[in-house]
Chains A and B, each alone.
Chain A
């Protein structure tokens, strides 16, 4: 990925995050309380993109002027950007590095020259051998390592068949704790960024496809959450609005607190192994990918047709019937349905 593509990716990601929050669709993927963090991240991404774009444009303009004046190196439109960058990086490096580094670079150059003379002897030289040229060699290897930054095996060393030894001298002449090779004037910093394309895929998925919240497919695949969480008192109201997880916890605890109370649950319908309907809702941990379902069996006064993935509001009473999840064997409590109403999907499809 080139610099401009990286900047474009940052813009895309920042825009994606801000759009998610603005349209409140982030609740499909992460917890609702995540919104401020997403917004902040989006803004930071846009700022980084803006500043780097400005810097790139400005420095490219400068380099172009320089080259036009010098007349030597021709830059060919947008395709020449990287050559311009290399030239600029080299110029910057020579400008920025201190006298020490310049000296080191010069030493490296001299040593490399010396080494190329030596390079005509066949390889297999011990790095810490006892021949006369050893010291010269060590200087070469150390310095070429240091000035070359990203490439430990410099052209000269590789050409002569010398290979860096495991415990060998890349570090040998480096004084402990000294600053590591602050980029020699030769190679511009370059790291592979192809992996960024997967991020492009993610951003395009969100912005173009906008995948919906997880539904019955994921619920059927996963085992129901074990209802072994602490149970509190059942709140006031008739019918009592409860989350599926709360109901499951109360039911697993024996259901005494639910005696004589009507309960209202909201969830979507899934088909059980024998096509019998279950009520389900996903509980979000960190994000949708880790969401775990809570399943409640439906019994009693059911309408004839309930299609999977329809959202319903169920009013019912506790029953001691218990089923078992075929996926993980966990108990699935039931509710005896009094009435069922089809509803619009709630703003936040998950329970947290």
Chain B
């Protein structure tokens, strides 16, 4: 509000009021900025959205929640709604530390590891670069590229493995199985990628760079802080959505049904893999979502952990945009299949 009044003051056009009519000004200002807003969020802006900005909405939500506290507590009671809230909150609280750790690690890599070394953002691009024989790269840059890939990959990242160990206490085999199955899946994916994109102009590496998508970020400290914040908000939000789904399933799905699905063998494994594809929870936090569905057997949880990070809706939409639907439609189901096969084999061997 202070800003609005200051700018009203220096405005030579002088909307009526200026310093005095602070409140009246605010609404006039909102109208005045409409065209700019329109162009930015094309087609999505509705009237109330333009007026109620997220900062104000945020304040409204928090204040309303505090004022209506008594009603909210009564509303949740002690039955299913209370259990739902507890389950939801518990998954978020358990997963949040690893979301933050992972975001900081990825932001650091994106911001400080030289682009020329990694060859685009870490992840698939890094893997393909490691797989394809590179002519110009020195040994040192290969080492850095490999290390960044490891740190950022869903299979071998220390953050992800630590999260898995925490989420499945007393089951160290789960960590081992995830590591092995994840590496196998990623390697198979890399091979598949080379095969699919062999005819792509520029070769697989260029396609991978395009597919990874996060390439438009700048480097250095500003990029690091900005990316930390946005990654925590987005990954944390996706984790929270997963937590809502899991809490709803454990609380409201009839117990015999859940039990029947959980003990249906292969179907349970496939169901968990598909759930992972739908929820798209970031590797690191996904272990908590999988562990929350404790009725399911360990192999099904492993399927969630192996398939989720390599094939999910978030990745798929990005691949469609970057590579076109044809390539993405062939690549994504193949990845799910590879993940499932790796899960079953490794799960049978290790778990």
A interface residues (Cβ-Cβ under 8 A, vs B): 1-10, 12-13, 16-17, 20, 26, 28-31, 34, 37-38, 40-41, 44-45, 48-49, 51-52, 55, 64, 68, 74-80, 82-83, 86, 92-93, 96, 149-150, 152, 164-183, 189-191, 193-202, 204-209, 211-215, 217-218, 221-223, 285-292, 309, 327-328, 352
Interface digits, B245-261 against A, CB 8 Å rule (1 contact, 0 not)? 01100110001100100
The smallest beta-carbon distance between A218 and chain B, in angstroms, is 5
Query: From B244, which residue of chain A is reached at the shortest CB distance?
Result: A198
Asked if B259 contacts A223 (CB within 8 A), the reply is yes
Check A10 against B229 for contact (C-beta < 8 Å). Answer: yes
| Selected A-B contacts with CB under 8 Å, 17 pairs | A12-B62, A38-B93, A41-B96, A78-B1, A80-B7, A80-B29, A83-B33, A166-B324, A171-B206, A176-B119, A195-B241, A196-B237, A202-B88, A212-B82, A215-B83, A285-B168, A285-B291
- Chain A residues with CB below 8 A from B332, complex form: none
Which residues of chain B have C-beta atoms less than 8 A from A29's C-beta? 86, 89-90, 93-94
- The residue on A at minimum CB distance from B170 is A285
Instruction: Please provide the chain B residues from 1 to 59 with a CB less than 8 Å away from any CB of chain A in the complex.
Output: 1, 3-8, 10-11, 13, 25-26, 29-30, 32-33, 36-37, 40, 53-55, 57-58
**Segment touching A, from B216-224, B303-311, B336-344:** B216-224
What A residues does B225 contact at CB under 8 A?
A: 48, 51-52, 55
Q: List B contacts of A48 (CB < 8 A).
A: 104, 225, 228-229, 232
- Of B218, B241, B243, the contact of A289 (CB 8 Å cutoff): B243
Size bracket, chain B contacts: 35 or more
How far does the Cβ of A204 sit from chain B's closest Cβ, in whole Å? 5
Flag whether B193 is at the interface (Cβ < 8 A): no
A208 touches B209 (CB 8 A): no
Write the nearest CB–CB distance from B22 to chain A, whole angstroms: 10
Closest to B76 in A: A209
Partner-contacting stretch, out of B176-184, B195-203, B266-274? B195-203
Contact yes or no, A30 B90, CB < 8 A: yes
**How far apart are the CA atoms of A45 and B101 in the complex, in Å?**
10
| Given known contacts A286-B168, A286-B292, A288-B90, A196 and B209 CB-to-CB distance under 8 angstroms | no
Most buried by B among A17, A79, A173, A190: A79
Most buried by B among A28, A178, A183, A223: A178
Q: How far is the CB of A352 from chain B (nearest CB, A)?
A: 8
Binary interface encoding of chain B residues 89-105 relative to chain A, with 1 for a CB under 8 A from any of its CBs, else 0: 11111101100110010
In the assembled complex, the Cα of A172 lies from the Cα of B1 at a distance in Å of 50
In the complex, the answer to whether A179 meets B120 with C-beta atoms within 8 Å is yes
A200 near B292 (CB under 8 angstroms)?
Answer: no
Q: Which chain A residues lie closer than 8 Å to B321 at the CB level?
A: 152
Q: A4-B54, A5-B58, A79-B53 are in contact. List 8 more A-B contacts (CB 8 A).
A: A5-B54, A9-B233, A38-B93, A83-B36, A166-B328, A177-B119, A287-B291, A289-B91
Shortest Cβ distance from B134 into A: residue:
A177
Known contacts A175-B202, A198-B244; A217 and B216 CB within 8 A of each other: no
What separation, in Å, do the CA atoms of A196 and B61 have in the docked complex?
Answer: 13
Contact status of A212 and B233, CB under 8 A, knowing A174-B206, A176-B202: no
Q: Specify which of B58, B205, B232, B244 is in contact with A8 (CB 8 Å cutoff).
A: B58
Residues in A whose Cβ lies below 8 Å from that of B90: 28-30, 287-289
A174 to B215, CA, bound (A): 13
Contacting pair A181 B215 (CB below 8 A): yes
Taken together as a complex, chains A and B put the C-alpha atoms of A133 and B55 apart, in Å, by 49
Asked if A205 and B29 sit within 8 Å, CB to CB, the answer is no
In the complex the two chains form, is B323's CB within 8 Å of A166's CB?
A: yes
User: A196-B237, A289-B87 known; A208 and B230 CB under 8 Å?
Assistant: no
- Asked whether, in the complex, the Cβ of B86 is within 8 Å of the Cβ of A28, the reply is yes
Are B93 and A17 touching (Cβ within 8 A)? yes
Known: A38-B93, A177-B129. A74 touches B240 (CB 8 A): no
Chain B hits for A208, CB < 8 A: 65-66, 69, 72
When distances are taken between beta carbons in the complex, the residues of chain B under 8 Å from A286 are 94, 166-169, 287-288, 291-292
Query: In the complex, what residues of B have CB within 8 A of residue A179's CB?
Result: 115-116, 120, 215
Asked if B234 and A193 make an inter-chain contact with CB atoms under 8 angstroms apart, the answer reads yes
Contact check: which of B61, B207, B217 meets A189 at CB < 8 Å?
B217
Is B347 on the interface with A (CB-CB < 8 A)? Answer: no
Contacts of A6 in B (CB 8 A): 229-230, 233
Name the distance in Å between B129's Cβ and chain A's nearest Cβ.
Answer: 6
B237 in contact with A211 (CB, 8 Å): no
A290 / chain B contacts, CB cutoff of 8 Å: 291-294
Note all chain A residues with C-beta closer than 8 A to B26.
77, 79
Tell whether B226 is near chain A: CB-to-CB under 8 Å: yes
- Bound: A213/B83 CA distance, A: 8
Q: How far is the CB of B280 from chain A (nearest CB, A)?
A: 10
Contact (Cβ within 8 A) B292 A75: no
Whether B265 sits at the interface, judged by CB under 8 Å, is no
With A30-B94, A205-B89: A75-B323 Cβ-Cβ less than 8 Å: no
Across-interface contacts of B6 in A (CB, < 8 A)? 77
Question: When the two chains form their complex, are residues A177 and B205 in contact, meaning their CB atoms are under 8 A apart?
Answer: yes
- On whether A74 and B7 interact (CB within 8 A), knowing A8-B58, A217-B78, A286-B168, the answer reads yes
Q: Do B236 and A212 have beta carbons less than 8 Å apart?
A: no
Residue of B nearest to A151 (CB): B321
Q: How far is the CB of B37 from chain A (nearest CB, A)?
A: 8
Q: Which of B36, B169, B222, B259 contacts A327 (CB 8 A)?
A: B259
Give, as a whole number of angstroms, the nearest-CB distance from A119 to chain B.
20
Cα–Cα distance between A44 and B105 once the two chains are bound (Å):
12
Q: Enumerate chain B residues within 8 angstroms of A197, measured Cβ to Cβ.
A: 237
Q: Which residue of B lies closest to A190 (CB)?
A: B40
Known contacts A7-B229, A167-B197, A285-B294; A76/B58 CB under 8 A: no
Q: How far is the CB of B315 from chain A (nearest CB, A)?
A: 14
Among A4, A31, A76, the residue within 8 A (CB) of B55 is A4
Q: Cβ of B73 < 8 Å from any Cβ of A?
A: yes
